[in-house]
Structure 1
Amino acid sequence: MEKHIESLLKRISWGSITIATLTLMSMIIQTPETCIPETPNTSMTKFPRSSCDSNHRRHLPIDKKNHRLWTSKAWNQQVQSYVQLFGELQNRRLLANHSKVLCVSAGAGHEVMALNRIGVSDVTGVEVIDSLPLVSRADPHNLPFFDGIFDLAFTAHLAEALFPSRFVEEMERTVRNGGSCVVVVERCGGEELDQILRLFRKSRLVNAVNVTFNGAQMTRILMRTKVSA
């Protein structure tokens, strides 16, 4: 009797194992229900055939990406704001076509393009993430340039600097004696303006004026680096 029961239990165990194995193989072979079934693609754009398709979309070449960006209305409006800003510096004879200009924390390069449009060709834009061909990668707190090689340094992103004093120190270091540092910040005055001016230890204030920049109320600060004795 005991041998009969033992034989029965073995048959049940082998049957369970067989069923489990077949179920597992079926789950592996069958397409998951969460995947979108393949459908004919009549679009000109190559999309993945299903949600389980491992093929990636073809990346747009950088020149086509830039063309799409640079021809947008938003891009050109912002570039035009910089054109007006730098045009005023040209009128004050602080910026010329032959000037060597450094744009610190230049983002996607609006200010670089604006300077090129008004005839300034020797422009270097730097940012922690490059946006070629207008902006190269560099740490604004540790600029990879020799002392005093630029005529003018510009930034519209001082407020976003992790270490503002170091940021300004690097701007001053790379600008020649008698050159200019130009900063655009949210409209300020009084104590706020004094705090910004105290960051410039090797420059003197030329003027600070309120301007409308890219549709916002801003303050443009112009500093002149001190000429060594």
Structure 2
Amino acid sequence: MERYVEKLLYRVSMAFIIIGTSIMVVLILQTPKTCVPPNAPLKPHTHFPRSTCDSSPRQHLPLPKKNSRLWSSRAWQSRLSSFSSFFLHFHHLGLLHNHSKALCVSAGAGHAAMALTHLGLSDVTAVELVDSPPLVNRADPHNLPFFDDVFDFAFTAHLDEALFPRRFAAEMERTVRRGGLCVVAVDECGGEDVRDIAGLFSNSKLVNVVNVTLEGSRRTSVLFQIQGSAS
């Protein structure tokens, strides 16, 4: 009886081994259904492999060439033009000069920094949590890696997205010299909202509030002048 059971178990085991091996062979040889057939036509505007199973390495695009493509795109040029028009207003008022040392906080991909450079400023620094070389360096806007009173002009369009707005504003004030300017662009607002923003800049004087169009959206530009170093 025991020998009969052993033979039965042996036959069952062999059957499972044969079935499993056959399934593995089929899976290896058969193209998965999730793959695009190798002879499928490519869309002219894509650069993807002919098959999603194609493991051949993609061509590495050097950073300068990658940036060149990005900066020449219509979307980039549109946003750049918007920031250029915005900063040109301060240049005409004599608040921005070619020798001004400017800081862009939470600068994103660097549109504002490039606009200031194109305006003629030779010393522009931009920071963001994720760097975008060569325009934007990596730094925490709540803990800027700069000495006190370094810059003449600081700008941000992302104060309303800060985790700690008061700390964010204090760091802008700390790094701008006495008499220098801080400019904040926020969603269009007025009255109490502007007073709340002004309350964050406890070391500055509110100079001007004006509604503008920036990056295709209605925004409010709030201008502060630094009165002294924070104690």
TM-score by length of 1: 0.88
Between the aligned partners of 2:5 and 2:155, the Cα distance in structure 1 is 84
Q: Give the partner amino acid of 1:26.
A: S
Shift of 1:81: 1.1
Structure 2 counterpart of 1:34, one-letter code:
P
Structure 2 residue aligned with 1:47: 49
Offset, 1:38:
6.7
Partner of 2:76, secondary structure, is: helix
Offset of residue 63 of structure 1: 2.1
In the other structure, the counterpart of 2:159 is 158
Shift of 1:179: 0.5
Hey, what does 2:192 align to over in structure 1?
Answer: 191
Scaled by the length of structure 2, the TM-score of the pair is 0.87
Tell which deviates more after alignment, 65-74 or 109-118: 65-74
* Contact 1:48/1:55 (8 A) holds in 2: no
Paired residue type of 2:217: A
Q: Residue in 2 aligned with 1:29?
A: 25
2:9 maps to which of 10, 13, 23: 13
Q: Is the CA contact (8 Å cut-off) linking 1:97 and 1:121 kept in structure 2? A: yes
Contact in 2 for aligned 1:48/1:57 (Cα 8 Å): no
Q: Which amino acid aligns with 2:8?
A: I
How many residues are matched? 223
Gaps in structure 1 of 5+ consecutive residues: none
SS of 2:200 mapped into structure 1: coil
Whole-angstrom distance in 2 between the partners of 1:114 and 1:27 = 61
Change (3 A) 1:222 1:127: same
Taking the aligned partners of 2:36 and 2:76, their CA distance within structure 1 comes to 40
Output the amino acid matched with 1:16.
V
Q: Tell me if the contact between 1:183 and 1:222 (Cα under 8 Å) persists in the aligned partners.
A: yes
Q: Relative to structure 1, is the Cα distance of residues 55 and 176 closer, same or farther in structure 2, using a 3 angstrom cutoff?
A: same
Letter in 2 for 1:172: E
Tell me by how many angstroms 1:92 deviates. Answer: 1.3
C-alpha deviation, 1:83, in angstroms: 0.8
**Partner in structure 1 of residue 71 of structure 2:** 70
Give the secondary structure class of the aligned counterpart of 1:97: coil
Kindly state the Cα deviation for residue 75 of structure 1 after the two structures are TM-superposed.
Answer: 1.1
1:69 Cα deviation (Å)? 1.5
Task: Give the direction of change, closer, same or farther, for the CA distance of 1:59–1:198 in structure 2 (3 Å limit).
Answer: same
Question: How far did residue 12 of structure 1 move?
Answer: 2.0
Q: Identity of paired residues, percent?
A: 48
Q: Which residue of 2 aligns with 1:128?
A: 129
User: Counterpart of 2:101?
Assistant: 100
Per-residue deviation at 1:58?
Answer: 3.3
Matches within 5 A, 1:73-222: 73-222=74-223
Could you tell me whether the CA contact under 8 Å between 2:208 and 2:222 is conserved in 1?
yes
* Compared CA separation, residues 7 and 55, structure 1 to 2 (3 A): same
